[in-house]
Amino acid sequence: MSAVNETPAIAEIDAPQFCPWCGTPSPYRSEPHTPLWQRAAEETGQVAPEVVQESLETEAFVTGCAGCRRVSHVVGHHAGDHAAHSAPQ
């Protein structure tokens, strides 16, 4: 039997849910941005190795908090399969 208001597993949460400053529930929206590795490649003319690209791949979110009236930008990194890259063979 499961409860009606079960909290989703952290892996199932698509975006931050609370203001990082005051803790008020605050819906975030996805914010498009250029990945750091891509900006560096455009500036230097050199393409970063794939492992660097994967490490610097992020998602950005933004919200305006009704509680403390601050605008917050949050950048999230993917856990992905990075353990496979760093695990000793």
Q: Domain ranges for the chain, please list them.
A: 16-80
| Percent of all residues in the chain with a pLDDT value above 70, rounded to a whole number | 71
Please give the Cα distance from 73 to 12 (Å, whole number).
20
Q: What is the tens place of the pLDDT at every residue in 27-53? A: 888 888 888 888 888 999 998 888 888
Query: Is the entire prediction scored with pTM above 0.75?
Result: no
Q: How far apart are the first and last CA of the chain?
A: 42
User: Residue 37: CB partners within 8 Å, gap ≥ 6?
Assistant: 48, 52, 53, 56, 57
